[in-house]
Amino acid sequence: MAAANVSQILADTLSADANTRIAAELKLSEAGLALAQLILAQDVDIPLRQISSFSSCCNIRLFISGSSIILRKYVKERWSPYFESFKGNAPSVEVKSRIRHAVLQGLSDSNRKIRSLCAHTMSYIGNCDWPDEYPELLNSLIALISSSSSDAVHGAMQVFTEFIKSDLTEDQILPVLRQLLPVLLTILGSTEQHTPLTRARTVSVFRQCVTALYMVKDQHPQAVKEAIATILPVWLEAFKVLLNLDPLKDVSNQDNWDGLAVRIQIFKTLDVIHTSFPRAMTSYVRGYLDASLRHLQVMSETYDTFYISGSGSAPGSSEEETVEIPHLICPLFDFVSNVVRGGKAKEWLQAENLNSVEETWATNANAFVAHEEDDTQAYGVRVAGFELLYTILNRSPAQICATFQTTIHQVIGTSQRARENGSTAWWKPLEASLAAIGSQSEDVLECIENEQDSGRAKPIDVEDLLANVVPSILNQSDFPFLQGRGFVFASQFARLLPLQMAGQYLEAAMHVIESSSAGIPVKISAVKAIHNFCEGAEDSAITPFASRIAQDLGPFLLVTTEDTLSLVLETMSVVLDVNRGQWLTTDLSNSLVLAVLEVWAKNNKDPIFLSIFTEIFTSLASSTGTGVYETVVKQALPTLCTAIAGSKPQEAWIAGSAIDLISSLVRGAPEGGLGDGFFALLAPSLFSCLGEAEDRDVLQNGMACLALIVRKDCRQILEWQDPSGQSGLDHILKVIARLLQNDDESGGLVIGDLIIHLLRRAGEAVLPVLPELLQAMVSRMLSAKTATFIQSLVVPFAFLTYNQQDTVLYLLESTTTNGRNALDILIQTWCENAETFQGFWQSRVSTLALTKLYASGRPSLQSLMVKGDIILKPETKNVIMTRSRTKTTPHQFTSVPFPVKALKLLVHDLRAGGDSATIPKAEFDVDSDDGDEEWTEEEQQNQGFKQEEFAFLSEMLGPRGVNFDNDDILEEMDDEDLRNDAISQIDMQAHLVSFFKECASHNVNGFSANIEQLSAEEIMVVRHAI
């Protein structure tokens, strides 16, 4: 197709007539070569050449502002099956070659937009064809960036930006970098020849190269080490030189701030280098930190002009890329934070520099953002700054808090003078300073407490601010952001407020909420302040106001949306927790339930909102106020049951969320039970839904709800009957049977919890159906795949074994499933998965049941052979076994008698419990590039952590710490019934030691012979125990 014809077709694509336009676009889909040639045709108008690179399925007349590229569309749809959108009719090898050549030439076009469009197209072609069908691409691109043409360099660099990121394999990276990086460095240094944006792209490509090196350092350690030693110092020196140039020159241009792009990419790259190869940075860190601080100091005035006071408009960049000062500040803060966090800035973070950093943040950089959107704010300068403050505060808490004290008073004075001089932005530094200190409130409070406990003076007097500064701020209604910040700041330090002052702040916050003249920013801040007060202040300070707060928040529920609604809901949730809702009345609880249900009906698909709804319903139902629980159930349960019954299959989230809310009511119900008629009202709609539902969430929520009801009021389940005479227990067993037959195993633990609680609570009522239930569970073990689902099948047997050993073993010995004995299936499954069981109670009952099985000496167990230890082969030793390797070289295991395997599992549990017989850790001295040679002696002993930090991790992770056995941290993951169960109260360490001693002293079940079949380490643990 001739270029002239293509020109006419392109003109037709702009036609207002739909038929003409569609016909033209169809013709263009076959005109790849002609399109490529047209792009290069210098005698064609630029707009038409651009159109040849553009297409739009909606309106091609918008080609300059953002339509798709016709040639790129052609490549994606006609080039190769490599692309998901491929529609067939791939061009011949010759045509492809000519198109590649034309597009490559387009990278050097004199028009910037043509170059950029060709770069995008070439990136697609490269993704598909390089290196197999287009091996010369890399050399061609390097030739372009090595040429003297700035246009060619500009076009090729845009391709490289994507190319290094996605196309180089680990074997190609090192050869390419040797060839590429010297050329990139030359471009970076050619300030007169190449534009700042092109030079910035060289740094971006270099950063991707560093990341690529890091990814292959384990496969090619020596080559990467040599590359780092020769490459990084040269680039780090170049960065040092560039950062020492005056940054103000980059923002003095009124047309664009392109020069900032180089600095932005340098700080991003420094962060990557510090993370990947910190040792290479050692001698440069101090200089880069100085440069970072200098940038903050020098740029603060410009930032204030364009982003705070609003007296100027930032010009942006000369191309489509966004180049702004915030884009420089964020990576700068990130880099400094990571260096400080890694412990490499101790000398730099001495008094003078710490004060400089903090003063820069508090007086100018602290006002980098004039507003914030609470906890949902996008990552930006303020968030990055808070992160930096957090990092340095954790390194030198007392010193930073003292700097806070000095700086906040400087800012107060400066703001007052600015206000007297008529500045309209006088309040912004003060607001940002309060935001900065408030963002670190927990650490500041901890520092104050630690200093006072040590007999030293408070490094910062927050009480003085709360008593003498913040109250006047609360009256600044003309400056709502500052006024709102005052409320939030006071609430962040609620612990320090005397009871009377806390009441005064709460009164002021409620006055704002109730005021018709207060603006949205300050009202939202007042709500957030109330949220913080309820979480941080004593209940005695909040209780007198709780009812009024709830009444004030109620109307907000019906008029707010999205993030604001989330804040109001969260605040309502914490208010209802004050003094366990004792202050609630039936009228107030009734109105709150109605409001929450109305909000739920509009937002029942949002998982974030749903989590808050459930908390609110639990709090309402658990209120100790007279008649409140009955009122909440009377108002909520019928509505939720109706929603379950009326939910359509394509709207499964309605039923799922309604069931979730009912579970919340059950969770909050009093210990005496759910109240008459609760289950009778719920059962028909719930069982009907669970009998037909296919949605995973609905089924899981339903099982969880039934488990809660079994725990809270099993009597109602056993007494209820449907019109056909089937009981609630019959229906539950039907649901369990249905889920056991389901191929989806995602609800595994939920099924197990329900079965466990049925066995614990239903007592003799479950005995008639027990054989059938156990057989169904054993049968499902044969096809179960996921660890959680297998656990849900095994743990009920463990519980029955512990409590009714002879009965359950008799049932299993006399049952056959698919030609195999049921006891054999259970024991094989149990032994293979016991070490993966989750949950405090679940793991314990498994361990206890294994001790009983071993001690039973039952003949049917002695002959069972099960999977033992893994067999280590030379080809798999010290090799990470990936999925593909495991397929070709599968693991093999020894085969051992069940009694031996049981002892192995029990020894493992004994070691995990923190016994002193645990095997000492081997010590290795491996040369690494983690840069820890500059850690303090304390940090070297504790892997980079402070002693108290490492002590906490040791306690968490074991094996000689709590190791979740003394499991306060995971308490909330287990329900209250199981936490209070006798099994949870057993001293498992002492029990296991006693078990081993008893077995040894009486040679239980051939103990001495079985011990000889353990590993040397396991034998050592047993001998220590006995």
Between CA 885 and CA 607 the distance in angstroms is: 39
pLDDT in tens, 196-216: 999 999 999 899 889 888 888
- pLDDT at residue 875 in the model: 61
Cβ burial of 210 (10 Å; 0-12, 13-18, 19+) is buried
Give the pLDDT band (50/70/90) at residue 966. Answer: very low
- The pair of structure tokens assigned to 608 is 């974030």
pLDDT in tens, 123-151: 888 888 888 888 899 889 989 988 888 89
Q: What's the rounded mean pLDDT across residues 165-188? A: 76
Alpha-carbon 178 to chain mean position: 37
Contact 99, 80 (CB under 8 A): no
Q: Which amino acid is at 135?
A: P
Q: Does residue 992 have a pLDDT over 70?
A: yes
Q: What's the rounded mean pLDDT across residues 814-830? A: 92
Nearest residue to 302 (alpha-carbon basis) of 289, 315, 292, 290: 315
- pLDDT at residue 612 in the model: 94
For residues 881 and 874, the model is more confident at: 874
- pLDDT at residue 963 in the model: 39
Q: Does residue 530 have a pLDDT over 80?
A: yes
Q: Which residues contact 208 (CB under 8 A, 6 or more apart)?
A: 161, 164, 165
pLDDT in tens, 582-597: 999 999 999 999 999 9
Give the pLDDT band (50/70/90) at residue 52. Answer: very low
Specify the range with the lowest mean pLDDT, choosing from 460-474, 478-492, 821-835, 891-905. 891-905
Give the pLDDT band (50/70/90) at residue 893. Answer: confident
Q: Does residue 352 have a pLDDT over 90?
A: no
Highest mean pLDDT among 16-30, 46-60, 947-961 belongs to 16-30
Q: What's the rounded mean pLDDT across residues 921-929? A: 41
Give the pLDDT band (50/70/90) at residue 19. Answer: confident
Give the pLDDT band (50/70/90) at residue 981. Answer: confident
Long-range contacts at 44-49 (CB < 8 A, ≥ 24 apart): 44/3, 44/7, 46/111, 46/113, 46/114, 48/7, 48/10, 48/11, 49/111, 49/114
Alpha-carbon 100 to chain mean position: 42
Nearest residue to 206 (alpha-carbon basis) of 180, 224, 175, 237: 180
Q: What's the rounded mean pLDDT across residues 413-419? A: 93
User: Which strand (E) or helix (H) includes residue 1024?
Assistant: helix 1016-1025
Q: Does residue 59 have a pLDDT over 50?
A: no
- CA dist list (Å): 239 to 233, 336, 561, 913: 10, 16, 47, 52
Q: Which amino acid is at 479?
A: F
For the chain, give the mean pLDDT.
82
Q: Does residue 43 have a pLDDT over 80?
A: no
Task: Name the H helices within 342-469.
Answer: 351-363, 381-395, 397-420, 427-439, 441-453, 462-468
Beta strands in 770-839 (DSSP E): 816-817, 820-821
Give the pLDDT band (50/70/90) at residue 559. Answer: confident
Nearest residue to 250 (alpha-carbon basis) of 240, 241, 237, 263: 263
Between CA 468 and CA 460 the distance in angstroms is: 14
pLDDT in tens, 437-471: 999 999 999 999 999 999 999 999 999 999 999 99
- pLDDT at residue 117 in the model: 84
- pLDDT at residue 818 in the model: 87
